[in-house]
Amino acid sequence: MKELFNSITKKEWLFVIFLSLAVIFITTAPAVYGWLKTPADKVFTGMHFVSADDWFVYYSFINQGKAGQLLFTDLFAPVEHFKVFRPEWLAVGILAKIFNLSAPAALHLARILLIPVFFAVAYLFLAYIFKEEIKRKVASLFLAFSSGLGIFFIYRLIQYPSNYGAGTFQWPMDLWVPDNNTFLSLFVSPHLIAAATLVFLIFLSLLLFCENYRYRLAVFAGFCGLALFSFHPFQVLKIYALIGGFFLVLIIKAKKIIRPLVWFGLIFFFLSLPSVLYYLWLLKFDDLTVQRALQNINPTTPLYLTLVSFGGLLIFAALGIWFLIKQKKIRENKYLFLAVWAAGQLALLYAPINYQRRLGLGIHFPLAALTVIALFYLYEKNQAWVKKWAGPLALIGAWIFLPSTLFALSAEVMVFSQERELSYISRDLHDSIIWFSKNSPDNSVAFSDYKTGLVLPAYVLRTSYVAHAVETPFYFQKKKEPAWFFSENRRPETEKDFLNRRRINYIIYGPTEREFGSYDPAGKPYLELVYGNETVEIYKVVE
């Protein structure tokens, strides 16, 4: 590892710093724009176009960490459940507490702090693969900014506005799945950046171990696995499968069992195992964890859309593998691993599990590295022609590799410009839930429309009855209940029984709830008005 560090010049580290600063500026600018244009009567939430509902879950965990909690309650689930250890959000919560930041601000600060770490580790990995400085830098740029061709299928966002139809997801993944694309990962969340960084460290340690069989590298990789699996258990199958697959290829190549590889595998497995056992324990004894796992359905898109999502990267990566075979370089461990990584992870995207597309994290690295191998091979074979047509070729390259990255930025600006969904919430709603947090017991459960329910736990440590498609158990059944309840006035006994059987203590009644129908909470014998402003009222369920 020391030799690898020494192979990188100060000039290269300056490049990494400037690249990090550029990415920080580009990925932060839309959020700053959204915050600056916040209407006077609204509050900025920091919601992204990507995974729009998940931000409120993250904020809820961050606020619990800020409040000093080490184990977190799922405030989107109105059922008894185990508190869980979420180290990634605990760290961000501590950051929020130290600097007295809101959850959205703390999330962005954590993201900004992790971006240079990510690029430092990624560049170290690229320095291992490429000896030439120019190839390292170009590969870094591809890793940072390249994307697929999903933008050319943007009509599907109009055709399938909910992203679902004919039994599958219909949007190209480079437009909305941050796991598969580095820029989106850096754009949206610190936990994805941390996870990708740990993936790179594990695989780099693996390759370095294969050179010298230094077992401290196996120990280091094992602790990285322990950290990764503690907050991103989706990665367990992928990491074990890719390490095992690579070892199998090496054994076949050597035509014998390589004992140090067996020891590496055992060391990595047992050091990372505690995190795996923790989640297995939750699945065994916590009903909410089981229900969340059943509801957390993340299938990969149909194959043709997946190919579109990776676009030119996939084509040039395949060419890169072919050129390595042609040059008889594919037998080198670093190149062989890139091929196994890319092919193996693509195959895992269609593994028979319910979280397929979550296995895509990190796949951008081998695709980008192999693409650079292909491009430099073509350049070296056709230098005169490439120099003659450099301008048009650069435009074609930008057309192939950049459009979906530009879409991500423009979509974010569009969300804030048009005040889409929950990018902003009314100040009345915000003020009402802040009051609620100060004037209700900690174990209170609030009933409202699911959109109001999604916002509540993001700002205050109180539980919503229905809120999030994964976190709320039996979400799709519960999602229908506010529409039924608020549609009309029924016998008070019927309404109160409905609330009591669900252990609901409060009703939040605002513009969204009024849209369902003629229900009027005023004068209900089982309700007491405890708060009201111009548009939002809070009622307590009384005996």
pLDDT for residue 209 is more than 90: yes
pLDDT tens digit string along 225-283? 999 999 999 999 999 999 999 999 999 999 999 999 999 999 999 999 999 999 999 99
Q: Which two tokens stand for residue 333?
A: 């461990």
**pLDDT given at position 373:** 98
pLDDT level of residue 313 (50, 70, 90 thresholds)? very high
Q: Given this model, what pLDDT does residue 2 score? A: 78
**What fold is seen in the domain 424-541?**
Rossmann fold (3.40.50)
Can you name the residues that pair with 425 across neighbouring β-strands?
Answer: 43
pLDDT value of position 48: 85
What are all long-range contacts of 32-38, with beta carbons under 8 Å and residues at least 24 apart?
A: 33/413, 33/416, 34/412, 34/413, 34/415, 34/416, 34/423, 37/416, 37/417, 38/424
Burial 362-384 (b: 16+ CB within 10 A, else e): bbbbbbbbbbbbbbbbbeeeeee
More confident residue, 156 or 284: 284
At 43 the pLDDT is 96
Structural contact between residues 240 and 188, judged by C-beta atoms closer than 8 angstroms: no
Instruction: Map residue 507 onto helix, strand or coil.
Output: strand
The model's confidence at residue 218, banded by pLDDT at 50, 70 and 90, is: very high
Q: pLDDT exceeding 90 applies to what percent of the chain?
A: 93
pLDDT at 16 over 90: yes
> Does the structure show a pLDDT above 80 at 56?
yes
Q: Looking at residues 186-205, what average pLDDT do you find? A: 98
What's the mean pLDDT when you consider all of the chain?
95
* pLDDT for position 227: 98
Looking at residue 300, the DSSP 8-state letter turns out to be P
In the prediction, which pLDDT does 74 show?
A: 97
Q: What is the pLDDT of residue 309?
A: 96
Would you say residue 156 has pLDDT above 90?
Answer: no
Of the candidate ranges 15-19, 88-92, 391-395, the one whose mean pLDDT is the lowest: 391-395
**Residues 338-347: pLDDT tens digits?**
999 999 999 9
Instruction: Please say if the pLDDT value at position 184 is more than 90.
Output: yes
- Helix/strand/coil for 506: strand
Distance CA 210, CA 208 (A): 5
Rounded to the nearest 5 percent, the helix, strand and coil shares of the chain are 65, 5, 30
pLDDT at residue number 160: 84
User: What pLDDT does residue 315 have?
Assistant: 97
pLDDT level of residue 133 (50, 70, 90 thresholds): very high
Q: What is the CA radius of gyration of the chain?
A: 25
- pLDDT for position 50: 78
User: Under a CB-based contact definition with an 8 Å cutoff, are residues 44 and 35 in contact?
Assistant: yes
pLDDT(165) > 80: no
Q: Contact 459/433 with Cβ under 8 angstroms? A: yes
Q: State what percent of residues in the chain have pLDDT above 70.
A: 100
Residue 267 is predicted with a pLDDT of 98
> What confidence tens digit (pLDDT) does each residue in 80-126 have?
999 999 999 999 999 999 999 999 999 999 999 999 999 999 999 99
Domain locations in the chain as residue ranges: 2-44+102-145+153-414, 424-541
Q: Is the pTM of this model over 0.75?
A: yes
pLDDT, average across residues 474-495: 96
pLDDT of residue 496: 96
The predicted structure's pLDDT at residue 32: 97
In sequence order, what DSSP letters do the residues of 25-63 get, joined into one string?
HHHHHHHHHHHHT--TTEEE----STTTTHHHHHHHHHH
Q: Look at residue 495 in the predicted model and tell me its pLDDT.
A: 96
**pLDDT value of residue 426:** 96
Please check the confidence at residue 39 and state whether its pLDDT lies above 90.
yes
Q: What is the mean pLDDT of residues 191-213?
A: 97
Q: How many residues does the chain have?
A: 543
Q: What pLDDT score was predicted for residue 344?
A: 98
Query: CA–CA distance from 209 to each of 21, 202, 225, 270, 333 (Å)?
Result: 32, 10, 15, 17, 11
Strands 506-509 and 537-541: antiparallel
pLDDT bin (cut points 50, 70, 90) of residue 294 is very high
In whole angstroms, give the CA distance from residue 178 to residue 121: 19
45 band by pLDDT with thresholds 50, 70 and 90: very high
Residue 411: the pLDDT is 92
Confidence of residue 75 (pLDDT cuts 50, 70, 90): very high
CA distance 245 to 130: 23
pLDDT for residue 159: 84
Of 225, 191, 56, the residue nearest 110 (C-alpha) = 191
